[in-house]
Amino acid sequence: MIRFLRSKMTSLAESVATTPAQVPRVPIPPKGVDYRGKIVLAPMVRSGELPSRLLALHYGADLVWGPETIDRSLIGAERRVNPRNGTIEFTRMPSNGGRVEKAAKPSVIYRLDPVREKGKLIFQMGTANPDLAVQAAKVVAGDVWGIDVNSGCPKPFSTSGGMGAALLRTPDKLVSILETLVREVGEPYQIGISVKIRILETPELTEALVTRLVRTGITGLTVHCRTTPMRPRERAIRHQLRMVADVCHKAGVACLMNGDVTSRDHGLKLMEEYGVDGAMIAVSAEANSSCFRSEADGGLDPWRDVVYQYLKFCIESENRYGNTKYLLNMLIPGKVKEFKDAKQSKTYADVCRRLKFDDLVPAAMQLDEILDLTQKQELGDGEHSQAVSKAVQNAKENNESARAAGGGSSRPAKSNTTSTNNATTTTVDPSVPAAAEVSQQSSVAV
Ligand SMILES: Cc1cc2nc3c(=O)[nH]c(=O)nc-3n(C[C@H](O)[C@H](O)[C@H](O)COP(=O)(O)O)c2cc1C
């Protein structure tokens, strides 16, 4: 009788384990977000600053990843609320290269909007060390809804530091980083920890890695469907995707797919086809963020409408002008006259006038004052113009390199002098790069 009852209970247990309702789920912490059913903006150095994230949300992105930020650049950063727009800024003092003639102003390393990004923002970190990861994560953990570890950056200066794609080859270290973050940041701050990986050469290798990662307590895993050596222009390969999703699901972890997803509708179709929980979009969003709007809701907006909205968010967020110009380069089609106009512009007021966004001009002029851009423009064709054309040239080079972010091999010349939101800084301590330098490095590394 006892044996009969035991066997009955065993078979009952087996059937319960396979019932969809009983599929395990890593609980989503109260301040965290579930990645399931979401079409999200990918982490993108340079292209993923606050105005771009607001633009993606404006057009319907469900969640937004911030650009990869290196752990060391955040440790010791100060948190302040910008009194003019309410954004939260993490800043640190640049070393100023030991120069005394120039008063140092704090550099903004990371900026977020606590209202418009509420419940939507995932912070992404570059790290190779559990202790540094925890220290850095604690700086922002109270202001974001998840912390993601970049484990896909293929560039040598990232991988040589053991970060990014190097972590795919050191699974013990990656597991330790994730477990430590879950325990020391995820639990006390009640947010989710996740990881973004690339596929490995064979399904077996990928499966072995993912099987370990999903046991760390993470709530989500994003898989970029390219191997580390693949260049970004090579088509994403999807034959490992269903397997990765299955491994995630067995452990109750949400699985996002990434690689050549072009729009919300495309993402939803791929989710159904491959059984993944959500989709992440990078370059298509960089070119036109209205890709987050479904055809049923109007589909792609014309570039002028997207650029108008983007500039509005840039002005509201007090975005660094160099960064704004960088993304304008992506958003305005190369063949239209306005492309050149935007490229030649030197201030917010200048670009708004050139693009005939007259209603934005008053606010643009105010921001130019705040960012000291007016004064720079008044310097005319002298020293500053040369500096600007050099910066534009650098931006062009970086632009190409950033596009190679999925695994291209080119690397731009690295400058020690970097322009930040409020000040031009020169870094002297190589172990703690200034924010913009980190950004510049990362932009070619991810
Ligand atoms: C400009 C640029 C910057 C990027 N920065 C990051 C980053 O900070 N962190 C990261 O994990 N991936 C980064 N990537 C890679 C993307 O997140 C994404 O994995 C890749 O572009 C593939 O998606 P896609 O095919 O939709 O472009 C970057 C890509 C680009 C184009």
Tens digits of per-residue pLDDT, 195-224? 999 999 999 999 999 999 999 999 999 999
* CA 258 to ligand 1 centroid distance, Å: 9
Q: Distances in Å between the alpha carbon of 243 and those of 167, 206, 246, 274?
A: 21, 9, 5, 9
pLDDT at position 376 over 70: no
pLDDT at position 440 over 80: no
Average pLDDT (140-150) is: 98
pLDDT confidence bin for 156, thresholds 50/70/90: confident
pLDDT confidence bin for 363, thresholds 50/70/90: very high
d(CA 282, CA 259): 8
Q: Where is average pLDDT lowest: 38-52, 86-100, 130-144?
A: 86-100
pLDDT at 97: 60
pLDDT at 250: 97
202 — alpha (psi -120 to 50), left (phi > 0) or beta? beta
**Closest residue to atom 31 of ligand 1, CA basis:** 403
- Which ranges in 146-257 belong to alpha helices (H)? 156-159, 166-169, 171-181, 187-189, 203-213, 241-251
**Closest residue to atom 4 of ligand 1, CA basis:** 44
pLDDT at 388: 42
pLDDT confidence bin for 160, thresholds 50/70/90: confident
pLDDT at 95: 72
Atom from ligand 1 closest to the CA of residue 236: 25
Q: Where is average pLDDT lowest: 15-19, 78-82, 92-96?
A: 15-19
- Return the exposure string of 242-251: e unless at least 16 CB atoms fall within 10 Å of the residue's CB, then b: ebbbebbbeb
**Closest residue to atom 5 of ligand 1, CA basis:** 44
**Closest residue to atom 6 of ligand 1, CA basis:** 44
pLDDT at 21: 57
* CA 83 to ligand 1 centroid distance, Å: 32
pLDDT at 94: 82
CA angle 209, 128, 113 (to 5 degrees): 100
Does the CA dihedral 312-315-319-320 come out positive or negative? positive
Q: Where is average pLDDT lowest: 40-44, 97-101, 318-322, 396-400?
A: 396-400
Contact 364, 352 (CB under 8 A): yes
Q: Where is average pLDDT lowest: 10-19, 85-94, 296-305?
A: 10-19
Atom from ligand 1 closest to the CA of residue 68: 8
**Closest residue to atom 21 of ligand 1, CA basis:** 282
pLDDT confidence bin for 18, thresholds 50/70/90: very low
Q: Match 């304008």 to its residue by tokens.
A: 328
pLDDT at position 398 over 60: no
Contact 300, 266 (CB under 8 A): no
* CA 172 to ligand 1 centroid distance, Å: 25
- Return the exposure string of 354-371: e unless at least 16 CB atoms fall within 10 Å of the residue's CB, then b: bbebeebbebbbbbbeeb
Does this model's pTM top 0.75? yes
pLDDT at position 259 over 80: yes
* CA 446 to ligand 1 centroid distance, Å: 6
pLDDT at 407: 32
The helix (run of H) or strand (run of E) holding residue 193 is strand 192-198
pLDDT at 96: 63
pLDDT at 99: 63
Q: Which tens digits make up the pLDDT trace of 297-354?
A: 999 999 999 999 999 999 999 999 999 999 999 999 999 999 999 999 999 999 999 9
pLDDT at position 395 over 50: no
pLDDT at position 278 over 70: yes
Question: Could you tell which of 39, 40, 41, 45 is best to mutate to test the pocket of ligand 1, judged by most ligand atoms within 8 Å of the CB?
Answer: 45
pLDDT at position 75 over 60: yes
d(CA 190, CA 207): 29
Strands 63-65 and 69-70: unpaired
* CA 42 to ligand 1 centroid distance, Å: 6
Average pLDDT (366-381) is: 79
pLDDT at 19: 46
Average pLDDT (146-159) is: 90
d(CA 43, CA 64): 8
The mean pLDDT value of the chain amounts to: 84
pLDDT at position 361 over 80: yes
Ligand 1 pocket by Cβ (under 6 Å): 42-47, 67-68, 124, 150, 152, 196, 224, 232, 258-261, 281-284, 402-403, 405-406, 442-443, 446
d(CA 331, CA 339): 9
d(CA 264, CA 278): 10
Active site residues: 153
The helix (run of H) or strand (run of E) holding residue 273 is helix 264-274
pLDDT at 13: 36
pLDDT at 438: 37
